[in-house]
Structure 1
Amino acid sequence: MRALFPRLGADFSKLWTASAVSNLGDGITMAAGPLLVASITTDPAAVAGAVFAQQLPWLLFALLSGAWADRLDRRRLVVTVNLVRAAALAGLVAATATDQVTVPVIYAVFFLLGTGETLSDTASSAFVPALVPSDRLPTANAWLGATFTVINQFAAKPLGAWLFVIAAAVPFGVNALTFAASAALIASIRSLPAPPARTRTSLRADIAEGVRWLWRHRLLRTLAVTMAFSNVIYCAAFAIFVLYAFERLGLGQVGYGVLLTAFAVGGLAGTVVAPRLLTTVDTTLLLRAGLFVEVALHGTLALTRNPFVAAAMIVVFGVHTMIWGNIVITLRQRAVPAALYGRVTSVYSLLDLGGAALGSLLGGAVAQAYGIVATFGTASAAMAVVLLLAWRSLGAGVPGGHIVTR
């Protein structure tokens, strides 16, 4: 592992390996979870409920998790949470293997997994800037992004379905092992700093401090709000993407599955080019161009009936998401004080997933009232408005094209 990251350090190698292992487990469960529910009931609402059970903790606990991530030793917190998640999955394995599993049991386990995710992801988001030199952050973020794309999006999901066919309990047992392995790897990282000493205040005061800091930073505030509105628009359109693929593009189930891989192809390409672009292309230009891509994505899908055109545009969009994400994460890592990092990150997470949830609710209603094509056309127009409103503020804090710390 050290040979892969000679300029990022041995501890980053451990962090990357832990990320790779946990991404494998997460992807396996994302595929096997709905299959387990569907083996018990054919109720679509019950199947969808398993996904919602894992998402709900982000809406309920994101800000609280950010406050706790800044109060506690982050390394110990992540290790403890991963071990608890491994134990929860072990319980699900036992219930499944003995034919005692029920839909409420699955919901409870998935809710616990999602709750742990709010703590673990928020706390571990502070690891990279603590382990990697500032000038190497884009490269480190690109490696982590590529790992998510290749392992979670490409490899883990078909593996999860295959393991479920072998035996329903097997994929969850594998995920339990990945959590335990990830905990061991994180525990071996000794160079992570202890939480800084600070005056104890209430959780409400801690959360408010993080929200105020973010709101006072013009560029990060703009990026956070822009991301929230973009997610509302994107998820409103793509909530009915399967129907778009069938009815507008004339694809079948296999064609729809192939079309989805276009997102991963673009994401992988984006992780490769992002570090170089961040050092050679004006950052403001990249941010503004990214919003143009989102306008073009929805507009293209509203106009075309050609699946190859749609796939090509989705690949471009996938590249944009990885470049934009790398910029945002790197900016946040360099600008946010270590003592506030968990709370500021939790605000981002709340806006991100809150926007996605709201958009998913809106998408079905718009499509039902006005049709599938109108949904994408409306999304393109809405993104154009977001682009115009954010245009000027996107240039704040990036003079000379460099990502800077305020």
Structure 2
Amino acid sequence: MKLGAEYRRIWAGNASSNLADGITFIALPLLAADLTSSPAAIAGLPLAHAVPRILAVLGLGVLIDRGDRRVLLYRANFARAAVFAVLTMLVATHTASLPVLYAVFVVMGVVETLSDNTAFAVLPQAVTAAGLDRANSRIAGTQLIVDEFAGPPLGGFLFAAAAFAPSGLNTLAFLAAGVSYFLLRGNYRVPAGGTAPPAGVYAGIREGISWTWHHRIVRTTVVIGTIAGVGYMIPFSYLVLYAREVLGLSSAEYGLLLSASALGGLAGAWSAGRLRARIGYGWSIAVALATGSASFLVISVTENLVAVAVALAAYIGHSALWNVLAASVRQKATPAALMGRVISATRLMSFCGLALGALLGGRLATTFGLRAPFLVAGALFAAATAVSVLAIPRFRAWERGGEE
């Protein structure tokens, strides 16, 4: 099954923007470290990125369901290119400052959320329902390659060559993404048969949240995703410390460990559509979550580097598999007119789960040691697995078209 030229443009835009995200993940913290030696000031940058996303995500969902999604996509990415063009000039002229970096993180958090959620809403308008598993798998696999393999080392290499170089390349990458979305030819407004959000932002938000909660399949994926978000962030919030103090890895070795574990993500993304075709969405999601649980339980009982590496690879594989399956379920189940608000409500819960997991991770590691939180995270994934198993009859009925 060919996915078509429109999908290829969406894929190219997503790949370009994710390459820039991978570069940013390494380069901006390095730039911050050149500007200040305060750990608290540097640690505050991710917070400056996360808080605006939480505050803006629901309102952005209304915007996505009211506007031309193609226009939102290319404008969001051209805006990101403009932000990094300004940052490039400031770094090149040695006038960048920590407040400038904070401003960049705030703006990028909001615009990135707008772009990502709009791309999610556009995909089912460009691809048939039968092609969504394959389309999401390819996007997830590409995202892993550019985010985990290409972007971070490229960002570090460019920063070592010239501090302004990563921002300069990001400018070009976001420009390329904007052009890819600009070249979309379909009509990406709310379909004629759809219903525009009610007047008023809050009324639109309420409608999206209400629909999400009352659709049992989508609600189930939101509950699972929130539990999994807490479980994920509990150990990953301090993973670098675990790698250094428990596994005895250097910074370079830690980077290699993460790069190697990302190979599991490629396997997970590749297998998503095939597994779903064999056993359905419900069992496929249960298998993914059980793999995540087992991965963390293994890490909680061993300090063997090979075993930990394999377990991390399995965990990243589960994550890619779950993300592809959950995205396809939500895209198939949600009316196009509600897509922006439903994905925004879903991601708000995910953001909150990640924030709670980060808070719990630090406290658990401080109180019980660096290995115990993996056990707690594994238990949370086991709970998410139980939720998914109980929902299998519901998934089967939905796939047969007998339940909403």
TM-score by length of 1: 0.94
Query: Within 2, Cα distance between the matches of 1:66 and 1:290?
Result: 28
Report whether the alignment pairs 1:9 with 2:4: yes
User: Where do 1:224-373 residues align within 5 Å?
Assistant: 224-373=222-371
**Residue 269 of structure 1: how far off its partner (Å):** 1.1
**Residue 309 of structure 1: how far off its partner (Å):** 0.7
SS at 1:192 equivalent:
coil
Query: Within 1, Cα distance between the matches of 2:251 and 2:355?
Result: 25
Contact 2:283 2:389 survives alignment (8 Å): no
**Residue 29 of structure 1: how far off its partner (Å):** 1.5
Structure 2 equivalent of residue 3 of structure 1: none
User: Where do 1:6-405 residues align within 5 Å?
Assistant: 7-196=2-191, 198=196, 200-399=198-397
Q: Relative to structure 2, which stretch is displaced further, 379-388 or 176-185?
A: 379-388
Query: Within 1, Cα distance between the matches of 2:389 and 2:61?
Result: 29
Residue identity opposite 1:82 in structure 2: N
Q: Relative to structure 2, which stretch is displaced further, 376-385 or 332-341?
A: 376-385
The 3 A distance-change label for structure 1 pair 389 and 399 is closer
Query: Within 2, Cα distance between the matches of 1:17 and 1:47?
Result: 32
Query: Within 1, Cα distance between the matches of 2:135 and 2:35?
Result: 42
**Residue 369 of structure 1: how far off its partner (Å):** 1.2
SS at 1:126 equivalent:
helix
The 3 A distance-change label for structure 1 pair 291 and 40 is same
SS at 2:395 equivalent:
coil
Query: Within 2, Cα distance between the matches of 1:378 and 1:24?
Result: 33
The one-character-per-residue Cα deviations of 1:359-386 (angstroms, maximum 9, x if unpaired) are 1111111111111122222222333334
Residue identity opposite 2:203 in structure 1: A
The 3 A distance-change label for structure 1 pair 202 and 243 is same
**Residue 73 of structure 1: how far off its partner (Å):** 0.8
Query: Within 2, Cα distance between the matches of 1:26 and 1:397?
Result: 34
**Residue 293 of structure 1: how far off its partner (Å):** 1.6
- Unpaired runs of 5+ residues, structure 1, are 1-5
Q: Relative to structure 2, which stretch is displaced further, 37-46 or 52-61?
A: 52-61
SS at 1:372 equivalent:
coil
Contact 1:234 1:359 survives alignment (8 Å): yes
Contact 1:27 1:157 survives alignment (8 Å): yes
Query: Within 1, Cα distance between the matches of 2:91 and 2:16?
Result: 23
Query: Within 2, Cα distance between the matches of 1:345 and 1:212?
Result: 13
Query: Within 1, Cα distance between the matches of 2:17 and 2:403?
Result: 31
**Residue 346 of structure 1: how far off its partner (Å):** 0.4
**Residue 60 of structure 1: how far off its partner (Å):** 1.0
Residue identity opposite 1:176 in structure 2: T
The one-character-per-residue Cα deviations of 1:94-120 (angstroms, maximum 9, x if unpaired) are 111111110001110121111111211
The one-character-per-residue Cα deviations of 1:14-36 (angstroms, maximum 9, x if unpaired) are 11111111111121122110011
SS at 1:349 equivalent:
helix
SS at 1:369 equivalent:
helix
Query: Within 2, Cα distance between the matches of 1:37 and 1:318?
Result: 28
The one-character-per-residue Cα deviations of 1:240-266 (angstroms, maximum 9, x if unpaired) are 212222232233333322221233111
**Residue 400 of structure 1: how far off its partner (Å):** 9.3
Query: Within 2, Cα distance between the matches of 1:191 and 1:284?
Result: 32
Query: Within 1, Cα distance between the matches of 2:269 and 2:253?
Result: 25
Residue identity opposite 1:332 in structure 2: R
Percent of paired sites with the same residue: 37
Contact 1:282 1:400 survives alignment (8 Å): no
SS at 1:39 equivalent:
helix
Residue identity opposite 1:238 in structure 2: F
Equivalences, count: 401
Query: Within 2, Cα distance between the matches of 1:316 and 1:350?
Result: 26
Q: Relative to structure 2, which stretch is displaced further, 262-271 or 337-346?
A: 262-271
Query: Within 1, Cα distance between the matches of 2:389 and 2:278?
Result: 21
Residue identity opposite 2:221 in structure 1: L
Query: Within 2, Cα distance between the matches of 1:403 and 1:95?
Result: 56
Contact 2:13 2:181 survives alignment (8 Å): yes
TM-score by length of 2: 0.94
SS at 2:186 equivalent:
coil
